[in-house]
Each structure stands twice: as C-alpha cells, then as structure tokens.
Structure 1
C-alpha cells in the first residue's frame, strides 16, 4: 500500500515555496516536485492542501494536487498488480504538465509549467558557470512571484502581455522601491528568459519585447592616484583581515579584473616572464567568456603569489566573499582618509534622488576596476588598449568606466593650453 503526502520545501519561508509530493512504499520514499509553489501562510499543513478561503486563486492548486495524487496512486497500483515497483523517474514524470489527453487539467493549473521552466533556466545559467548571473535571475523571478501574489494575477507564458510587463515595472518602482537601472535589468532578465524559452519551443509569446524602462546609469566612482597611494601606504598588520582585503582590492586596481575573475586565479593562469613578454595572467573572464591577457607589475605579481600560497584566504580557507570584502573596504577607506564628499544619484521613475556621502561609504571591490581604467587612461593609454586588458567587447559598456571628473578634465586641458597661475 502506498502513502502519498504533500509538504512544503521551506515551510518557515516568508515567500512562495515549492510543494512536494512524497510517495512511500516498500520501504522507499520518493520525492516528486508538484510543479506548484505557494506562500506558507496560505498552506493548511494538517489537510496538506492550499487554503481557499480568502484565496480563491488557490483552488486550481488543490485540483492539480488531487490529480497528481491520483496519477501517483494509479501508477503504483499498476506496478503492484504486476509484482514490480515504479522507478523514481517514472513517478516524477507524472508531474509533467503537457498531457494531451487531459487538457482541462492543464488549463486548471496556470503558471506551473512557467515556473518549472524558469527554474530550469536559472539552473542552466548556474551550470554554465555564471553563478552570480543565476542569482540575479532568481531574484527577478522572486519579484515576479511576489507581484503575481500581490496582484492576484496568474503568471504564465501566455499571460505575460505588454500590460502585465508595464504593471510589473510599476510594481518594482512603487512597491519594491527599485531604481530605474535595476528595473531595466529585471525586465531584461525576463525578456532573456522568454527568448530562451522560445528557442526551446516552450512559448511563442513575444509581447515583452515591446515593454521598456529607461535605464539611467549612476555616476561611476574611481579612486584618484593620491587616494590609491594612501591606501597602499596604510600600515596594517600582515595577515590581518584588513591587510587581506586591501591585497584583493589592490590586485583588482593593478589588473582591472572583476571579483569573479580574481577568485578564480589558479597557478595555470600565471604565465612567467620571457625574453619578449612580462609575467602576465591569461584567463577566461567569467562574465563575458573573453580570454584576457593582463601584464603583472611587480606589485601585482607579489599579491598573486600571496593569493596562490593561500595567504589571502578567509578563516574558512576560502576567498573573502564579495559582501564581506566590500564591508572591509569601507573600513579601510575611512582609515586611509578617503573621505572626499561624493554625490550619490539614484533615479526612480526618471526623478533623481541625490544624496552626498563620504567617498569611503561608496567604496566596493568594483571601484578597483573603474580605478584601473581611469588611471591608465590618465597615463595616456589608448581606450582600445585598456579595453583589451579589461575584456570589454563594446565601447558603449566600457565608456561608463571613463571617469571624467572636473579635476581630471582640468588636468587634461592644462596639458595642451597655457593656464593662468592659481591663487595661493
């Protein structure tokens, strides 16, 4: 005799969580993803079904769970009669939604296949090695689920109209409080998913292609040569957390590499100096998959050697995580006196929200990449050469890193024009 029960993946979560069916028989327990998610507060644990009082849209979820339960039981009974047992793969296949001879059940379960495919897309992205991109895709999906729940609108391949796209963007702006740039990115992620799904024959809907949200990039911040020198000269105990954080940051300043590329450096990426070439790093950028060759100065090579020797690892013998590193950098910047006031401009709905903060409060590991570009351009390197080092494939994306501050503009102008003496 088989026993079938339904449980939540994360019953204590404060967001929708997947529903699983458990089939217990002959000492085995098979877990079958039901293809539905629900907020735990809308789930009746005792009855093992969705609450419908006050949640009229949960009725189709219970209809689907009942149908899935019947399918699982029928499959088990057929095997029992033949003296065999069903395989886990066979049972899980019963949760597929594309059942030609049962169209009414498919229609009564909106969104299940959409979210299954969305999760497949996130996992596909993660498997390709772009973990942070996969996390961003998952975040966009979470916002879309929350929008669906708040608006009482079932999200599915065929229900993603231009109107829904516009409403989701407005929800991200007015309810979630995101900036224009982040809204633009989330819309882009959803569009990318729909194109990915279309290539696999999951949908033909292209309505979201007509939805847009103006992207207004914030100003790029970089350290000046003097600020970088102050950070380099800061006396710190060797091997301390701040010493390690500074080493990671300086390596990014010297090479222009992203954090994801810094933490992937291995011995095979270091090419020793030859008669014609200096020591350099040769690796494939995680984000763009472009092969970059970055010459190593003496200071950069020293830090790379420390990294490979394990001297820059955290207490758990792992690289310092990005969020922790950013926190340490703000502390370092404050100690080093990198406190010039800078404007922080965020756009929401086209309206600029302007605030002023000490520069160290905005210091992140990505500031190092921008510093690399700004300082090398200031030394006279061509944009094409710097792009080759950073792995940028388009000048449009690279241009954001060109930090033309008023001081930089004045210094560059003075190189070509005679300027009056400044008052003392």
Structure 2
C-alpha cells in the first residue's frame, strides 16, 4: 500500500490459513512495536503481500477494504503526530482505542459491506480469468434472472432475503414467466447455493435459509443422445461439399471427442507435450484429473492434423452449430425423442437426431460405444474421468440396435446357457 505512513505495515495473522484470517496493523515507533487488530479479515489468496493490500482485480469488494485500511493508517498517524506535538508518547492502548474511536465517530466513513452482486461480479471475473467462459455465462444468466425477478416482483434480492419464501417465488417465476425447464431451474438453484456458500464461508452472509433441505429443485433424468457405430461411420465417410469446407474442421473436432471421450474444453487445449505414441496424458480443466487416454489410429491422425495447425479450435457455440450442420449432411436423421420436464410434466417432441447433437454428444457417444464394444464400466470411467457410477450411468445410452443384438444373442444360445443367464 504505497500511501502508508512511515512505520505502518499491514500483515495477516495466518498467511497459510485456508479461510479468512485477521488483518493486523503493525506500527513501529519510538523503539516500540504496537500490534492492532483492524477487525477486518481476508483470504490469504486475495492478499498482496508485497504491497500490503488486497488484490482488487477479480475481487470487486476489496476496493472498499483497501480504502478502509488506508483510513485506519491515516487516523493512526494523525493521532500519533498530534501526541508528539504535545510531547506525549502514546501507549499501545491509546493507539488502539484512538483508531477505533475515530473510525466510529467519523460518520462519513464508508462501511465495508460485500453485497450479493459483489460476489457475482467476483465469480464472473474469476471464471473469465481462468478461461472458463461457459461458467461465466452461467453466473451472468443467474444474475440476470435474479435482477429481472427483483424488478418484475418488486422484491429486494440480497443475502438477507434469500429464504424459503424467496425460493418459492423465484422458482415459480422461472417456471411460469421465464419458461425454464426443471433441469435448467435445478442448475440455477445449485449455482445460487454455491455462491451463497462461498459468501457464508467468507463472512459476507449470515442467513442460512438456503441450507434448508427444501431449498432444492429436483433434476429429471432425460435420455442421453449418442451416436451409434453406424452413425459414426456415416459421419466419417461423408464427403464435405466444396462450398462447406469449414465443416471439415468441425467434423474432425467432433470425431476426436467421440474417439477420446474428452470434453471440448480439454480437446481445444491439447499441446504436443500431452501426446504419447499410443495415448494422451492430460490434466482435465474441469476436474483437474490426470488422465491417460488410449489413442486409436483415427484419433492419432486427427491429433497430428491438430498439432500441425490443420485442425483448429473454434468457439463451443459455433462448433455446436457446425456439428448439427455436418450431421444433417451425413443423414443422421433417425426420428429421436427430445424429452424435457417443466414443473414435473414430461414434454416430448420427435425431431431428426442431428438437431439434438452438440459437442458433448461426442463424450456421450464415446462412453456408449465403448460399453457396447465390451469395455468394463470401470475401464471406461478411468478413461473418461467419471468419478462415481451415479454420474457415469446417465451417459450410458443403449441404442435400439444394441438391444436387438443382445436379444438375438440370447435367443441363439443353447437352452442350457439361456437358463444360466
């Protein structure tokens, strides 16, 4: 903190703490060292030890904290110099009491209050700084819904007002006014609870209404849409029209997802050091897992093109659009049910399959096809990075063709083997 008076420094009580730790003002004067607790705390990760102040980039609320610390230092120095003019050396208690008394008596001093919107701003900034644009979009969407709700219902949204009454009104608004599906509402609520937990752990929020077990919106399992082996072959064999060469890049990215099971964020970050002769060794962005992913000849061919700059990452949204376009050209148009739930009501619509495909369909297809080929679930989970079967099982999409194949196998067996099944 460049404007600190002579002899004044700010330190943390425990610089290695995993939670907010007190900020201490140290004042060295007249061969004496005075320690003063400021009453403020901060996560060590947000503290600039060189400049003795809080980082503000990505932490909007810390701007006010830094101003308050500067005010403490200024008041301390003002009191100390006034004492010296009178020929008095103040003791430790005088210094401590004078600071806090002066602060309390100064009516114009801003009180550092971190609001819900401050925390949203921090979440968005941190996500963007880490390159997690999709996470930033989720936080922005939730903030927009909350602000729209606040305006439409003339309800103040703050840490203090978020309780079961708020939950009922907000979810009703999302369901009936915004027309969100149950799974999207569940995502909004889980994101809000994550933000509130963050704020509670840091002392910004003391209202624990969100921890009530009824403060929860139930997700509904929907069918996982994945490609069959025949559809993958159709995609591989498609001749891209001369006027749509941009789809070649999208097809390669999509196929690489099908061959490896990687999320698109990891696919788009592959570097030469990740590539081994027969596998990829990569730390995933989302879960920070160190995965070893076997490479087929087809996968290795695309990776070589990628490293040569002939396959290029593009935005996730653009890739999703191109995947639909290239899969339509490949005639992946089997009538497929699009299932969603709104307010517990099951809503179905039959559309050509290509309309339901996107970048994440590659990962789902990898899991499904690997299981169909006979790989044990534990092996597939180790490759894909799924940590538990509960989250893994929703990606298991057994196609109608596979059901018929398995049924035929059983009916072709000798009777003695059928009885053993």
The verdict on how the C-alpha distance between 1:370 and 1:145 changes in structure 2, with shifts beyond 3 A counting, is same
Q: Is the Cα–Cα contact under 8 Å of residues 130 and 287 in structure 1 kept in the other structure?
A: no
Q: Which moved more, 1:258-267 or 1:201-210?
A: 201-210
Matched, 1:362 2:356: yes
Alpha-carbon deviations, 1:49-102, whole Å to 9, x = none? xxxxxxxxxxxxxxxxxxxxxxxxxx9xxxxxxxxxxxxxxxxxxxxxxx9668
Q: Is the Cα–Cα contact under 8 Å of residues 124 and 139 in structure 2 kept in the other structure?
A: yes
How far apart, CA to CA, are the structure 2 residues paired with 1:370 and 1:324? 19
Matched, 1:321 2:315: yes
Residue 103 of structure 1, CA deviation: 8.9
Correspondence 1:64-143 to 2 at 5 A: 113-143=115-145
Alpha-carbon deviations, 1:253-283, whole Å to 9, x = none? 10011111110111111123xxxxxx21111
How far apart, CA to CA, are the structure 2 residues paired with 1:103 and 1:379? 73
3-state SS in 1 of match to 2:115: helix
Q: Is the Cα–Cα contact under 8 Å of residues 228 and 399 in structure 2 kept in the other structure?
A: no
The verdict on how the C-alpha distance between 1:379 and 1:202 changes in structure 2, with shifts beyond 3 A counting, is same
User: Which residue of structure 1 lines up, in the alignment, with residue 161 of structure 2?
Assistant: 159
Residue 177 of structure 1, CA deviation: 0.8
Aligned-residue Cα RMSD (Å) equals 3.2
The verdict on how the C-alpha distance between 1:225 and 1:133 changes in structure 2, with shifts beyond 3 A counting, is same
3-state SS in 2 of match to 1:215: coil
How far apart, CA to CA, are the structure 1 residues paired with 2:302 and 2:179? 40
The verdict on how the C-alpha distance between 1:236 and 1:158 changes in structure 2, with shifts beyond 3 A counting, is same
3-state SS in 2 of match to 1:201: coil
User: Which residue of structure 2 lines up, in the alignment, with residue 176 of structure 1?
Assistant: 178
Residue 125 of structure 1, CA deviation: 3.5
Alpha-carbon deviations, 1:257-312, whole Å to 9, x = none? 1111110111111123xxxxxx2111111111111111111111110111111112
Aligned with 1:390 (options 372, 376, 384):
384
User: Which residue of structure 2 lines up, in the alignment, with residue 263 of structure 1?
Assistant: 268
User: Which residue of structure 1 lines up, in the alignment, with residue 373 of structure 2?
Assistant: 379
TM-score, scaled to structure 1: 0.69
User: Which residue of structure 2 lines up, in the alignment, with residue 297 of structure 1?
Assistant: 296
How far apart, CA to CA, are the structure 1 residues paired with 2:182 and 2:268? 30
Aligned with 2:221 (options 217, 224, 229):
217
How far apart, CA to CA, are the structure 2 residues paired with 1:322 and 1:100? 52
The verdict on how the C-alpha distance between 1:388 and 1:364 changes in structure 2, with shifts beyond 3 A counting, is same
Name structure 2 gaps, 5 residues minimum.
1-59, 62-73, 75-102, 415-421
TM-score, scaled to structure 2: 0.70
Correspondence 1:28-67 to 2 at 5 A: none
User: Which residue of structure 2 lines up, in the alignment, with residue 401 of structure 1?
Assistant: 395
The verdict on how the C-alpha distance between 1:101 and 1:154 changes in structure 2, with shifts beyond 3 A counting, is farther
The verdict on how the C-alpha distance between 1:150 and 1:410 changes in structure 2, with shifts beyond 3 A counting, is same
3-state SS in 1 of match to 2:395: coil
User: Which residue of structure 2 lines up, in the alignment, with residue 150 of structure 1?
Assistant: 152
User: Which residue of structure 2 lines up, in the alignment, with residue 288 of structure 1?
Assistant: 287
Count how many residue pairs are aligned between Structure 1 and Structure 2. 320
User: Which residue of structure 2 lines up, in the alignment, with residue 336 of structure 1?
Assistant: 330
How far apart, CA to CA, are the structure 2 residues paired with 1:106 and 1:173? 39
Residue 209 of structure 1, CA deviation: 2.2
Residue 363 of structure 1, CA deviation: 1.5
Matched, 1:345 2:339: yes
Residue 416 of structure 1, CA deviation: 3.2
User: Which residue of structure 2 lines up, in the alignment, with residue 46 of structure 1?
Assistant: none
Larger Rg: 2
The verdict on how the C-alpha distance between 1:181 and 1:106 changes in structure 2, with shifts beyond 3 A counting, is farther
User: Which residue of structure 1 lines up, in the alignment, with residue 6 of structure 2?
Assistant: none
3-state SS in 2 of match to 1:342: strand
